[in-house]
A and B are shown apart, each in its own frame.
Chain A
């Protein structure tokens, strides 16, 4: 029951708000916050009772849903989903705190959207049934669409529909692939089932596996987003309200990588191994391209948005090395990126609330009127660029180790990305916080207590992961081993070397 409670608690809170608290902002805002905190509490309880030693999925729940097609309501989590569940619940609390006063219009609808979105995201991470997964995957589009479209910036309508259509095109292709693998399995000796674990045993091969892999991969690559299907991201992130950007960057992008782990690798390990080289190439392009684009952005929010493209390039690169360090680093980096980019968006949001501009050139000398904000900002900037002792470093380091073992050239390219990352982040920090103070902002108020409280969990996670990552990596050993054991036979077959893989790739497709 615990996973059901976790998943649907936010929606229940939203219903309570809708039915009983219309027209009473303080009541429904408090309810939204309390709901998200209780949900976080449930997630922490799950973490505490989670057995890290045992591999496989825990807290399993299974009930028939549409028995005629072998569809069931099947929930369960492993270490990877647990971490992402934690990330989701933390960022939801942060997002709600962060929008306390910055949303003025239709507040009730906004907080309801946030809670519904939380249920959708949690559902994606705990689903063990393909149909259920798809339902949650699509459902979270709707609240996000409204969050961007209703409460976003000047070009919000364009950004909202672009976000929706990009994701929707990818996911309908995935739907066909889902149907294809399910029917293939049912016709080739397996039961008619949408159960993810059952389907992982199916051993899809041949052209079915290749085409289905591609369909799944496109759907997830759009979400991550990988180069060249990233173009919805800068618009969506920039136009979304702060809470929307936090959730988008913090959690929604992770759903793409999570999907790759579960389906692209889980269902089609053979094809995934063949796809290593192209995925690494695309990731390397994303790392460098995202960083270069960040360098030239005049808009702070857009800069952070492009930095996501760069950072998510690290994540996909680490995942597709298929070694312990790469995979663990990749999952950990997802959490880091969620926390740090979420925090950066929060900071930009705080500044924007006060100045109503996001352009870097309008700022300058902000450290003077807002020293506390500048201090927090510096921590997150440093974390994001990978300063040792903060979380970003751990993830990037592990990924680099993983990639280096596999192919040095990619490790070199990725390191260039890190250097560029330091450049654009520090340069932005310098131009906004230091330099010539802008007269207009001299009397601005520093962060309020509520705003600081919203940042505290993010600071805590940044330091915790940075100083003692063992707590989190411990959750990842078993699932990482799982992934490696899935792909191991095919890796060995291809000799494991870059040259061998390259030839098998170009010969194989």
Chain B
């Protein structure tokens, strides 16, 4: 048997080594004395110096990003066609890496404030990242499933990371149960694909399934795989877990959930559906169009009535999944990969602006661990007390709204441009009108921050410092740069999509 080409997985190998090192080094870090503070955190160890652990994790991620970038322009297939290294995989590996790095940067103070600063956290993030990378690189349903589970199981553990807190447990349990159902449904879909096509490789299955047309067995397989992945991107009506999970999970983890696994699931959907289900493009295109309308509606309308910002951002992430799904629907409907380019740009833009928005919440929680409960009211007067945090949060919210000059606008512009290109202008109209609805709930946060006076005094230390400052400035700069000079990102998206589908 021929040895597999390992070059395509070097980024993941680096991450794997880093994750193992994190666990090893963690064992040698002297723990702090047990804390006898608040009853909720009883028995939790006090802060110990985790600089080494952090350094390893970040070095690993940066190493994997650098190596991925160095591998741009390659076109390699490995592990018997299970996995590919091309610009598509590189695009997502870099994006996921950046997302994870920002998450790690915003975590330490937050975890310290909750007295749960453990090395496992970083190891779990790295494992989830490996899973995401492999999802984007996968060219085979089996690898897709395995890497998705790697990502998912790490995520369940991350959600439960504050195991002393009820909400965190609830969050993890919900995530685990719904996630398992979704995985099982998808796996059943994959088994049907195998039954119909006799292959699990995307391209091989695609060749056979194209010949079968829209046979009902094929349709069922496509439908089940789509539903399984729709859970992961929190498309309505499979979004119910999202607000509870985000609300209960530690804020940096929620930030990561809202961008990482979601983007990974989208990368998998685009790759798998275009390559493996070419004979049923119209059908799955229609399915995603229907899902996108439902998702945009549910996300935006439910976000309107939230008074907890974390839940609001959770529903907003549902809404953004809806905008992305319109691109997917357009891809299927037109049978062309062109609308997919816009989705890539959107995913990149969304990663930075959403991480930034959650990051500010994490910062506020770090500053006021006991007081801040993420209610909108508590943001009143933030503009005076903490002008930087308020200004940055405004930037991220305006970007989420889609105001030009920010990444969010560029993302929406490209996605809806693809949708209109596919002659689905009515879908674009629904999308933009609902994004006008979203302006209301995003602006409401700005209203509280700047236009209202606080009900009670609270103390926030400015300037923002340390890793959080880095995480927020990277997010903010990326949000602005993508907003003002987007052409490099567009070019990257074009070459990524071309590599996959030509």
A residues with a Cβ closer than 8 A to B are 65-69, 131, 134-136, 138-139, 141-142, 145-146, 149-150, 156-157, 160-161, 164-165, 168-169, 172-173, 175-176, 179-180, 183, 211
Contact = CB atoms under 8 A, between A and B. Distances in A.
Interface of B: 398, 402-405, 409, 413, 416-417, 420-421, 425, 428-429, 432-433, 435-436, 439-440, 443-444, 447, 450-452, 485-487, 490-491, 494
Contacts of A136: 404
Contact of B417 (A69, A146, A150, A211): A69
Contacts of A131: 413
Contact of B487 (A67, A161, A173): A67
A179 B416 contact: yes
B439 A138 contact: no
Given A150-B450, A173-B433, A180 B420 contact: yes
Contacts of A67: 487
Contacts of A172: 402, 432-433, 435-436
Q: Interface of chain B, helix or strand or loop or mixed?
A: helix
6 contacts: A146-B450, A150-B451, A161-B440, A168-B439, A172-B435, A176-B425
Contact of A179 (B398, B428, B485): B428
Contacts of A168: 436, 439
Contacts of A179: 416-417, 420-421, 425, 428
Contacts of B436: 165, 168-169, 172
Contacts of B428: 176, 179
B486 A66 contact: yes
Given A135-B405, A138-B404, A176-B428, 11 more contacts: A66-B490, A139-B405, A161-B444, A165-B440, A168-B436, A172-B433, A176-B416, A176-B420, A176-B432, A179-B416, A183-B420
A138 B443 CA distance: 15
Contact of A145 (B432, B443, B486, B487): B443
Contacts of B443: 145, 161, 164
Closest 10 CB pairs of A and B: A172-B432, A135-B404, A179-B420, A66-B487, A169-B436, A138-B404, A176-B428, A149-B451, A68-B490, A168-B436
Nearest to B422: A183
Contact of B432 (A156, A165, A175, A211): A175
A216 to B, nearest CB: 14
A209 to B, nearest CB: 13
A448 to B, nearest CB: 30
B278 to A, nearest CB: 23
B108 to A, nearest CB: 30
A167 to B, nearest CB: 10
Contacts of A141: 403
A347 B491 CA distance: 53
A138 B412 CA distance: 14
A175 B486 contact: no
Contacts of B444: 161
Nearest to A135: B404
- Most B CB contacts (10 A, CB to CB) among A142, A156, A211 go to A142
B429 A173 contact: yes
Contact of B439 (A146, A156, A165): A165
A149 B398 CA distance: 15
Given A66-B487, A183-B420, A176 B404 contact: no
A164 B429 CA distance: 18
A142 B398 contact: yes
B403 A142 contact: yes
Contact of B433 (A69, A135, A145, A169): A169
Contacts of A149: 447, 450-451
Contacts of A183: 417, 420-421
A491 to B, nearest CB: 29
